[in-house]
A and B are shown apart, each in its own frame.
Chain A
Amino acid sequence: MDRRFPPTRLLTVLTGAVVAALIAGGIAVAATGRDSGHDHADHAHLDTASGLLVTTRSDLRMCVEAGPRSDAPDSVRTVLLTALDRARQAPGWSGAYGRFGYDPATAVHLGCPAPALPERYDRTVLAGPGLTDDPSAYRVWVYVLDDPTADRVLGPDRPAGAGTAELMREAGNLFPVSTALLVRQSRFADPTALAQDLREALGLEPRAPDQIG
């Protein structure tokens, strides 16, 4: 009895197996692709071509820890929106934020998701969650400080200071994605000065003079 498998049938069966594998692979890739696509759409990545700095943000938003101004939330929102309106007169605005803009109704949120005030301010301070792979919607975290707190954290002569609230790591690099702005209460009452602080916090102007001392 000839037990040999006919070559034609063998080739047919093998080809059928290849087709089945391709179909199974296609289904798997399609399922994985949806997963990846979902992940890519939702997972934040650094984006230094935009002032928002991460891919998951679609418009400019700030959060504010109002501290001594907590009893006047409408005033806090108005002051910050006025300062933001002035800050966007900076020359770099259109390149950095122009394609996104902001909605006055959502641009200022009272309360930040995980506020963390440093003990003392210096330029390396973290004032927020720090390293994260899930950054908040807020590009700037504003902390309004009463005078005793400002004296302790900023020092008696400093009206405001900027630091990092959130930063992300990609391929060995850690890069800020949210700026913390620590503002003395009296400074908060000066829209012109606050607009300058915001310009620096938004990266439209450097926080320090270029010139080396």
Chain B
Amino acid sequence: MSDRRARLPAWVPAVWLAVLVAALLVPAGPAAASHPNPSSQRHLHNMHFATAGSAAGTYDEQFCVESRDTSKVSHAAARSFVNQTLTQMGSGRVWDGLGEWRIDLWPTDSHCSSYPAATRNTIEIEVHYAWDWSGRCGGPANYYNCVVHDNPVWNATHGHYDSRWAYVYLVFSSGGRLDNTGRAFINHEFGHVFGLTDDNGVCNPPSLMHSTIVGYGCGNWTNWYPSPSDFQSVRNLMG
């Protein structure tokens, strides 16, 4: 007759005890603590600094706007729309003025290629409209908008390289639209100019950088303007 009340082997409770201890000691993953791009140094140099005054100064951010198809969108219309989006839509909705005016955006009077090289080299940001930027941004034709940083220079004050120039490439099918979708993409791409990353898949805190309005997966921020945490993340990067 077999013993149906056999004693439990000693290793069995030991295993479960080890599992319990491991569960208590292994730290949680970093997702819960995620914040849009808290450590990126891929940003425009001048956002660390400010120049006081009523005109574009040494450490302000001047931008020019250019259209590759002026029958679709003229240089002037594109410039007006970008300027409106970045500087005129009201407090809490624009990048302009952030961080005690360390971000201080100024449009140029004309389109980028109208300036001689020496003058153009003094403009920190170029915004380009076209049907297709796959040669710059990668991916399929007519699809991606992107930001390309340029002229990386050692920032001795903060101990990193950052960029003196940035180019924003917008496609007419999304970022180049002159509506709230276009505004969302402009603000998203300028988030990249100021160091934010996409962080797709991490939805908290709410951010325009991973919003459904710009084609990402998070529906908890569907406005065309940056979220409060986006503004705070850029402030954090300013140092």
Q: Is the CB of A123 within 8 A of B154?
A: no
Are A11 and B12 closer than 8 Å at their CB atoms?
yes
Contact between A95 and B156 (Cβ–Cβ < 8 Å)?
yes
Give A186-213 interface residues, CB cut-off 8 Å to B.
203-213
A-binding segment of B27-35, B90-98, B116-124, B219-227: B116-124
- Which residues of chain A are within 8 angstroms of B136 by Cβ–Cβ distance? 130-131, 174
Q: Would A172 and B198 count as touching, CB distance under 8 A? A: yes
- Please tell me if the beta carbons of A172 and B146 are within 8 angstroms of each other in the complex: yes
Surface stretch bound by B, among A27-35, A66-74, A163-171 = A163-171
* A212 pairs with B60, CB closer than 8 A: yes
> Shortest beta-carbon distance, A200 to chain B, in Å?
9
- Given A48-B42, A49-B41, A122-B117, verify A173-B149 contact (CB < 8 Å): yes
Per-position 1/0 for A1-42, Cβ under 8 A of B: 010001011011001001100000000000000000000000
Question: Of B4, B15, B137, B156, which contacts A19 at CB under 8 A?
Answer: B15
In the assembled complex, A145 has its CB within 8 A of some CB on chain B: no
> Complex: how many Å from CA A50 to CA B192?
20
Once the chains bind, are A175 and B117 in contact (CB under 8 Å)? no
Residue A92 CB within 8 A of the other chain: yes
Known: A49-B159, A173-B42. A211 touches B6 (CB 8 A): no
Q: Is A46 an interface residue (CB 8 A)?
A: yes
Check B122 against A208 for contact (C-beta < 8 Å): yes
Is the C-beta of B110 less than 8 angstroms from some C-beta in chain A?
no
B9 at the binding interface (Cβ < 8 Å)? yes
Q: How large is the interface on B (under 10, 10 to 19, 20 to 34, 35 or more residues)?
A: 35 or more
Q: In this complex, what residue of A is CB-closest to B115?
A: A213
Q: Is A51 in the interface zone, CB < 8 Å from B?
A: yes
A110-157 residues at the B interface, CB under 8 angstroms: 122-124, 130-131
B146 contact set on A, CB distance < 8 A? 169, 172, 174
Across the interface, do B5 and A95 meet the contact criterion of CB distance under 8 Å? no
Digitize B105-144: 1 where CB-to-A-CB distance is under 8 Å, 0 elsewhere: 0000000010001111111001000000001111000000
Q: Is B77 interfacial (CB 8 A cutoff)?
A: no
Complex: A209 Cα to B153 Cα, angstroms: 12
A167 to B137, CA, bound (A): 11
Interface centre among B19, B148, B156 (most CB of A within 10 A): B148
> Which residue of B58, B156, B197 is within 8 Å of A173 (Cβ)?
B197
Which of B6, B37, B126, B150 has the most chain A CB atoms inside 10 A of its CB?
A: B150
In the bound complex, how far is the Cα of B62 from the Cα of A158, in angstroms?
A: 25
Q: B121, B154, B159: which has the most chain A beta carbons within 10 Å? A: B154
In the assembled complex, A96 has its CB within 8 A of some CB on chain B: yes
Asked if residues B154 and A96 are in contact (CB atoms below 8 Å), the reply is: yes
A53 within 8 A of B: yes
Interface size class of A (residues with CB under 8 A): 35 or more
Contacting residues, chain B, for A51 (C-beta < 8 A) = 154, 161
Interface residues of B (CB under 8 A from A): 4-9, 11-12, 15-16, 19, 37, 40-42, 56-60, 62, 113, 117-123, 126, 135-138, 146-154, 156, 159-165, 167, 192, 195, 197-199, 209
Task: List residues of chain A with CB under 8 Å of any chain B CB.
Answer: 2, 6, 8-9, 11-12, 15, 18-19, 46, 48-51, 53, 91-92, 95-96, 122-124, 130-131, 158, 162, 164, 167, 169-176, 179, 203-213
23 intermolecular pairs with C-beta atoms under 8 Å apart:
A18-B15, A49-B161, A53-B152, A95-B154, A95-B159, A122-B117, A123-B121, A123-B150, A162-B151, A170-B42, A171-B198, A172-B209, A173-B195, A175-B42, A176-B163, A203-B161, A206-B164, A207-B121, A208-B121, A208-B151, A212-B56, A212-B58, A212-B122
Query: Which 6 residue pairs of A and B lie closest in terms of their CB atoms, listed nearest first?
Result: A171-B197, A208-B121, A48-B41, A92-B154, A172-B198, A48-B161
